[in-house]
Amino acid sequence: MRHDLLAAREAHRELFRTRGREPYPTWHGRTHTAADVRARFASLAKTKEAVTVAGRLVGTREHGGVRFLDLKDDSGTLQLLCRSDALSSELFHLLDALDPGDLLTASGPVVKTQAGELSVDVTTWAPLAKALRPPPDPRSGLRDEEERARHREVDLLANPETRRVFDVRVKLLHGLRAFLTGEGFIEVETPILQSQPGGAAAHPFRTHHRALDLEFTLRISPELYLKRLMIGGYEKVFEVGKAFRNEGIDRQHNPEFTICEFYWAYTAVDDLIPFTERLVSTLLTEVVGSPRLTAQGQTLDFTPPWPRVSVVDAVEETAGVNLGSDRDPRAYEKALTKLEVNLPEDRTLPNLMDALINAAVRSNATSPLVLLGAPVELEPLAKRSPDEPRLVQRMQILVGGMELIKAYTEENDPWEQERRFREQASLRGSSEVHPLDAAYIEALKVGLPPTAGWGMGVDRLVMLATGRPSIRDVLFFPLLRPERHD
């Protein structure tokens, strides 16, 4: 920021103080928002009723000795009419100390100008917060993507599209909770700070608890605790909250993200497919007006039913490898090389399988696709398929080249669950692995009813609903390297 601009604004701040006007007062006297004024007084030419409004100064004009100020609040913009014969001489001349971006309050009757603009005929006003940093130029705005993410508060003020994106996010979260609650689910909370990560194969963030002198992790998934609640007698639970994975950052991934998981007793994964179609299509219709979206130049139609595809058939057709029978890692390496895909750093069988599914199916899915089944090596928490024991009862919703939702029938046999944990640890070696959680195994011995579980990346749904290309665009404050202040 230019030092002359900062100096001018600091001088205006001090001018308020020398005139006995605190530039950062405690204040709580608003009677109307901009929208309230427009709704109540739209049909009146003039009223004697005084209103008190508050907001941010976004524009000023002067005509014939009259000052016109544009005041913006959360509901809209309202014009303030500042006349020398209605204001004290001091307050009228103190208008010179106002700068774009300042927060202020003003009081007076509501009138219509000769041009027909509904306005507050100001009789008194006061500063509420002096803005020392000027807002971005309204013509050029704030364009740099990293600056927008780093200074989201400025981005929200400068770019209406940013505000629209986050309004959609808020509405989707509200609608998601309302839909699940309306279907009989109850919202619960499970620990974020955990003694052992579980529920996914991912690297956790680790921290140390000083009082207990113990190591803890931030959760990578709420799954195991939610299923323990199902064991405790709840039949339909869900949680919307943060999960944390100590991994890379790209357009689909941020180390801190929002997840929604639910668990439903006495159901299997097949029951969740039509439920998911109804949930997502209803949410999009309520929030953006239609189940048909346009994202990155592509039309995405969430109108049910969505196509169903077997993961075994899809991969075999594209890559010539059978996920149900091929267990030689070299076959997967050969198929990935043929597809010109980089091999994973840890060339374990589960990692190679996942990479091939991604290359052959996931990355090519545009409109919603229901991908059915998965190798047992990828999902130690899912129940085996009764028809093909090398596969599990899993479904993924793929759209826009990414996984939006994953669900499966939960493994509820404690002996089988423990065996699968140990088996996966030997398969994955030092790479990401579901650790054996002894407390969860003991909980399973109490009895988990037949259950299906479901998880959705909320941030990805917002990306699709708003047409944004990166997860960073739909997080209020995504993770970035610290800004240098040399």
pLDDT at 51: 97
Q: For domain 1-129, which CATH number applies: 2.40.50.140, 3.40.50.2000, 2.60.120.620, 2.102.10.10?
A: 2.40.50.140
The DSSP letter of residue 425 is H
Contact 18, 89 (CB under 8 A): no
Summarize pLDDT for 258-279 with one digit per residue, the tens.
Answer: 999 999 999 999 999 999 999 9
Summarize pLDDT for 394-414 with one digit per residue, the tens.
Answer: 999 999 999 999 999 999 999
- Window from 45-54, 128-137, 189-198, 447-456 with minimum mean pLDDT: 45-54
pLDDT at 179: 98
Residue 429 has pLDDT above 60, yes or no: no
The DSSP letter of residue 386 is S
Residue 431 has pLDDT above 60, yes or no: no
| 141/301: higher pLDDT | 301
Distance of alpha carbon 132 from alpha carbon 111, whole angstroms: 32
User: How many angstroms separate the Cα of 463 from the Cα of each of 271, 306, 466?
Assistant: 26, 20, 5
Summarize pLDDT for 332-383 with one digit per residue, the tens.
Answer: 999 999 999 999 988 999 999 999 999 999 888 889 999 999 999 999 999 9
Strand 451-457 versus strand 402-409 pairing type: antiparallel
Number of Cβ within 10 Å of residue 295's Cβ equals 17
pLDDT at 239: 98
Question: Average pLDDT of 282-306?
Answer: 94
pLDDT at 11: 96
Summarize pLDDT for 219-253 with one digit per residue, the tens.
Answer: 999 999 999 999 999 999 999 999 999 998 999 99
Contact 410, 231 (CB under 8 A): no
pLDDT at 145: 86
Cα–Cα–Cα angle for 388, 390, 393, rounded to 5 degrees? 65
Going by pLDDT thresholds of 50, 70 and 90, the confidence category of residue 486 is low
pLDDT at 483: 80
Superfamily of domain 157-307+367-473: Bira Bifunctional Protein; Domain 2 (3.30.930.10)
pLDDT at 485: 65
Distance of alpha carbon 327 from alpha carbon 350, whole angstroms: 10
Summarize pLDDT for 36-69 with one digit per residue, the tens.
Answer: 999 999 887 667 789 999 999 999 999 888 999 9
pLDDT at 414: 98
Distance of alpha carbon 376 from alpha carbon 420, whole angstroms: 9
pLDDT at 115: 86
53: burial class by Cβ within 10 Å (0-12, 13-18, 19+)? buried
Q: Which regions of 222-342 does DSSP assign to beta strands (E)? A: 236-244, 256-265, 292-295, 298-301, 308-310
Question: Average pLDDT of 18-32?
Answer: 96
Going by pLDDT thresholds of 50, 70 and 90, the confidence category of residue 143 is confident
Mean pLDDT of the chain: 93
- Window from 1-10, 69-78, 245-254, 456-465 with minimum mean pLDDT: 1-10
Locate the domains of the chain by residue range. 1-129, 157-307+367-473
Residue 1 has pLDDT above 80, yes or no: no
Residue 432 has pLDDT above 70, yes or no: no
Reading the block at residue 248, the tokens are 């890379």
What amino acid occupies position 98? L
Reading the block at residue 459, the tokens are 């941030």
Number of Cβ within 10 Å of residue 398's Cβ equals 25
